[in-house]
Chain A
């Protein structure tokens, strides 16, 4: 669970989906959160869920998320978050 570990796009998305479904959006089964579903607008992630998600991402993927990076461009959908994590891990962001 660190920078050293390799994560494929699909693996990152799977980890995120299961965390969001089980810890933030208890009601949803994992299949129902689509990759392009707007997570905040549809109430899947609220303000408290957002902070828990950031902590989870930092611990699981070994990256640091800055306050200025907690914006819809990076966190609006499952697809956005996955791309953001990949870019951060590749040291591009």
Chain B
């Protein structure tokens, strides 16, 4: 019985040790080797003192080593925390401090950035360097410890006891998402929650050892959870999209063709990039049998084009916040040429209940709109170290008094269609999506307000057909200070991931206000300031 994520790999490695588990660029690793190396890493981590439930960071570019790391951490009974290799040091230092990461999987080229994180209070004591075989004393000065990959590969390769000592409710990973008050929050996902989705996905998409599944999303993005664990569970081959290729649509199209990808999963904006600039008509995607997308609304114009270019592939719209992982799905069938409205997010996946409540707290009926709630084993455990934030979104199921029955409030407004499908209609708050990334405008505003000379600031989402939203900031400078757009962008980039840095910055003498004194975002969106 599989009740832990690493068991997906362990079972497939027993059944088919010689099959290729993961490819990246020209490299590949078999199921047997992936299983053995992650055993060796788990033993090494235990020797360092990593304990059950401890958080271990992965600060690596996409590579086979990052997948070995992930399974080694899980087999040590610990939880993995993926760190965006391109995120600013201050944000990563926050994450390391926030969930108390002491041990980090990384590579030699990142050690300088890690030193800056330690100076910013990151509690690290051990770095495992996946690209290093020689001595580490010069790279990792004492009292901190450096462990080389050579040392890892000298450990016993048999399954360590720790690999199956966890239980299904233990933490498997933490993914950090944008927080409205200016600090990212760590979504805690248990093995059981992830497996609820993965088991359904393996069955729904019929994943087998013949599949070749792409991994386009970075590890810190929850789309990667499907790619990695559904592939391992099905005994399929996981094909990592190498860093750098995504910027070149034609290279990405060639990747799908050459790697003979059978299942592709990404945000719609990555697919739109391919459809608009990838010359897809030139390629033979005969083996591509399913295209899955999630994270934002897919404009029908491009979806119709995708359907035309790859007519034989099944298309699925998946929906779910990081806090629940995928909880609803909808298969897009034929697309009538006059269709304008986006496709539904669909119905609940197996073992999950979704429902929408109206403003009076009543369940809505067909044709009505309400806020979407999710219940079942897919729910997160909460936000790391933030019981207050967790309580805002995890509520007791109304009407259930006798026992605890948490439901997750998504903040997404939906309409229940007559055929039982839900359709996304908007957000209740200031959260937006850009290229599938979830962004709290409040977090951007917190960064803007931290800049000296900013008297008032607002971050706005400007709808965009290709990437969902572009971000614009409107600044009211203090009268006595000179404030420049380039300097503000640089300041934001030192604090926020790049996808959150405003693309344009407008300057106004004052922000429009509503009768209650709040910033009037609607009027602001219509105004044109002095742009830079």
Residues of A within 8 A of B (CB): 22-23, 25-27, 38, 40-41, 43, 45-51, 67-68, 70-72, 75
Contacts and interface: CB of A to CB of B under 8 A. Distances in A.
Given A41-B243, A48-B435, A48-B467, A27 B248 contact: no
A26 B501 contact: yes
22 contacts: A22-B489, A23-B489, A26-B486, A26-B490, A26-B493, A26-B498, A26-B501, A40-B244, A41-B244, A45-B247, A46-B86, A46-B246, A46-B247, A46-B498, A47-B247, A47-B249, A48-B467, A50-B248, A67-B279, A70-B248, A71-B248, A71-B250
A27 B116 CA distance: 15
Contacts of A38: 244
Contacts of A75: 247-248
Interface of B: 85-86, 88, 243-251, 270, 273, 277-279, 435, 466-467, 486, 489-490, 492-494, 498-499, 501
Given A26-B498, A26-B501, A27-B490, A70 B277 contact: yes
A26 B245 CA distance: 21
Contacts, number: 65
**Best-buried of B247, B278, B499 by chain A (most CB within 10 Å):** B247
A69 B279 CA distance: 11
B250 A68 contact: yes
Contacts of B247: 40, 45-47, 49-50, 75
Contacts of B466: 51
A50 B278 CA distance: 13
A27 B497 CA distance: 11
Nearest to B435: A48
Nearest to A44: B86
A27 B494 contact: yes
B244 A27 contact: no
B85 A70 contact: no
A70 B498 contact: no
Contacts of B492: 26
B101 to A, nearest CB: 22
A40 B248 contact: yes
B264 to A, nearest CB: 15
Can you list the 4 inter-chain pairs with the closest CB atoms, starting with the nearest? A26-B493, A40-B244, A41-B244, A27-B493
B250 to A, nearest CB: 6
B300 to A, nearest CB: 21
A47 B270 contact: yes
Given A22-B489, A40-B244, A41-B243, A70 B494 contact: no
B210 to A, nearest CB: 30
A70 B253 CA distance: 12
Contacts of B278: 67
Nearest to A41: B244
A23 B486 CA distance: 8
A47 B93 CA distance: 26
A70 B251 CA distance: 9
B45 to A, nearest CB: 28
Contacts of B489: 22-23, 26
Contacts of B85: 43
A67 B277 contact: yes
Nearest to B252: A47
Given A40-B244, A47-B273, A67 B250 contact: yes
Nearest to A76: B244
In this complex, the member of B277, B467, B492, B499 whose beta carbon has the largest number of chain A beta carbons within 10 angstroms is: B277
Contacts of A71: 248, 250-251
B86 A72 contact: no
B511 to A, nearest CB: 23
Nearest to B488: A26
Contacts of B245: 40
Most buried by B among A27, A40, A46: A27
A70 B247 CA distance: 9
B446 to A, nearest CB: 17
A45 B248 CA distance: 11
Contacts of B498: 26, 46
Contacts of A23: 489
Contacts of A25: 493
A27 B489 CA distance: 8
A25 B492 CA distance: 11
A43 B61 CA distance: 10
A88 to B, nearest CB: 17
Contacts of B501: 26
Contact of B251 (A22, A41, A43, A72): A72
Nearest to B254: A71
Given A46-B247, A67-B279, A70-B249, 12 more contacts: A25-B493, A27-B494, A43-B243, A45-B247, A47-B247, A47-B270, A48-B435, A48-B467, A48-B499, A51-B277, A67-B277, A75-B248
B108 to A, nearest CB: 15
B217 to A, nearest CB: 12
A23 B503 CA distance: 8
A47 B279 contact: no
Given A40-B244, A41-B244, A46-B246, A27 B251 contact: no
